Amino acid sequence: MAEQAYPVSEYGMDDDATVVHRQDHDDDATQVRAAAGPAADRALAPGTVIKDRFVVDATLGRGGMGVVYRALDLRKQEAHDRDPYVALKSLSDAYQRDERMVVALQREARKAQTLAHPNIATVYDFDRDGSLVYLTMEQLSGEPMDEFIAKHPEGLPHERVLQILRGLCLGLAYAHNKGIVHSDFKPGNVFLSEDDHPKILDFGIARATPVSGEVAASNTTEFDAGELGALTPSYAAIEMFLGEAPHPADDVYALAITAYQLFTGRHPFDGKPAPQARAEGLKPEPIPGLKRRQWRAIRDGLAFERADRIEHAAKFLSGFERAGKAWLFGGLTVVLGLILAGYFSFVQIQEQARIAPDVPFEELAPEMQTEIERLLSEGDTLLGFRDHASALILYRKAYDLHPRNAEATGKMLALLEELSDRVAEMNDPTATNTLRQNVDELMAVDGFLANHDRLKAVSVRLGE
């Protein structure tokens, strides 16, 4: 696909209507429009070098939060990377002037860097060069999903929606399992490739805090510049307006709205914010042609009260797909690196093994038992969708909480055996080496697993 210059919303940056919420000394809520344009922000000319590493090549777009550039990464070029270009997002002066905003954004961006999933846009770095504060991420091809939806006012064929929705659910579920809530999920923060492969943008950049004053329906992110509060009224759950702690169920509310739009081309509550929609007693109209369980998933995802809402993206997905269905999740060579690289924190595993109580499962604290059972159950659900990455993470967490736990060990080893079978079928040396290296590293840091016959058999098979 030929490269194009896309609007700023392509990289999760809202248009010029972005509103910064500030609190004056008299405690009256005010709204200051974040100006966008050359007068407000210094434009980086082509050829500008940032941090002795990134060379600005072209401007991709501009919005209230800043400017997005295409930039050449000199380190990638030196490494002969086939695609040495990145998207570089510079924060506007309106945001850079508030040091609390910069610190909070950096903290959240660091969390986003831990997300490695095919349906999440990769964040490379968040840094500053002098007074310039910027974020770098992978360069994408395609179009923002809000623009894509606008082109289909009657909605899309159901099979096509299910394909797109699956990627959105898996990406969010993966993040939720790592303890990260998006808090500003919406079509404008999703990038859709030509083959309908979605990439979710700006994880960790948005956080829920109270928004003062009456909030009108809007598809635009609204920020509290002092506290890094961000929400988009038309997609935010009621709890976000109340300033409650972020929860995966908040993302599910926005996910259900997005699913409704993909199916019908319309917002289920005509774009009205959740508090207003609840006050007016609005209910979403059923979507013709959906199976009963599919409509139930959307309906429950749109519940105004968190207690009534589906609480996790994986459970939302289960309303559309039955666990155990033989999905082949992406190209295995690519997925293997995403599944295994970096998931085994050696120091952490050693520490867990040293301090974890060597007691039967039944004698663990009830809350510990519940957490282990939850991790294993959710891992099974995600494995049923062939999301190996998230399943392995959950099995690993359960094992860390209770080393040598028979069920966690068995599930983890079964998954590694399945992956070894797949790489054998593929006859791909790169995939085989990736898996073998990770198995060897796991055996090196856990004596129990190192001496387990099943894992040793996997290691031997991969070395053949």
| pLDDT tens figures, 243-298 | 888 899 999 999 999 999 999 999 999 999 999 999 999 999 999 999 999 999 99
The pLDDT value given to residue 433: 81
Q: Which H or E element spans position 102?
A: helix 99-112
Mean local confidence (pLDDT), 175-179:
82
Tell me how many degrees the CA angle 229-371-365 measures, rounded to the nearest 5: 125
Q: In the chain, where does the domain assigned CATH 1.10.510.10 lie?
A: 143-318
Q: What is the edge-to-edge ordering of all strands in the sheet holding 198-200?
A: 143-144, 190-192, 198-200
Q: In the chain, where does the domain assigned CATH 3.30.200.20 lie?
A: 8-138
Q: Do 54 and 44 meet the contact criterion of CB atoms below 8 Å apart?
A: no
Name the 3-class secondary structure at 169: helix
* Each residue's pLDDT tens digit, 109-133: 777 777 878 888 888 888 889 888 8
Q: Which H or E element spans position 95?
A: helix 93-96
* Each residue's pLDDT tens digit, 395-433: 888 888 888 888 999 999 999 999 888 888 888 887 788
Percentage above 90 pLDDT, the chain: 33
Query: Residue 358: pLDDT band by 50, 70, 90 thresholds?
Result: low
Name the 3-class secondary structure at 34: coil
Nearest in space to 172 (alpha carbons), one of 240, 259, 110, 284: 259
Q: Structure tokens of 143? A: 């179009």
Q: Which H or E element spans position 230?
A: strand 229-231
Nearest in space to 218 (alpha carbons), one of 345, 64, 400: 64
CA distance 380 to 384: 6
Quickly tell me which residue has 């702690």 as its tokens: 245
How many CA atoms are closer than 13 Å to the CA of 292, on its beta-carbon side? 0
Decide yes or no: CATH 1.10.510.10 for domain 143-318: yes
* Each residue's pLDDT tens digit, 202-239: 775 544 222 333 444 555 555 443 344 567 899 999 99
Q: Structure tokens of 1? A: 């696909």
CATH code of the domain occupying 8-138? 3.30.200.20
What's the whole-model pTM score? Answer: 0.65
Nearest in space to 225 (alpha carbons), one of 108, 107, 112, 65: 65
Q: Where are the beta strands (DSSP E) in 109-203?
A: 123-129, 132-138, 143-144, 190-192, 198-200
Q: Does the structure show a pLDDT above 80 at 370? A: yes
8 against 142, higher pLDDT: 142
The pLDDT value given to residue 329: 34
Q: Does the structure show a pLDDT above 60 at 16? A: no
The DSSP result for 39-81, as a single string, is TTSPPPPTT-EETTTEEEEEEEEEETTEEEEEEEEHHHHHTT-
Q: Structure tokens of 236? A: 């935010």
Name the 3-class secondary structure at 319: coil
Query: Residue 332: pLDDT band by 50, 70, 90 thresholds?
Result: very low
Q: Do 273 and 234 meet the contact criterion of CB atoms below 8 Å apart?
A: yes
For residue 153, give the DSSP letter. T
412 against 39, higher pLDDT: 412
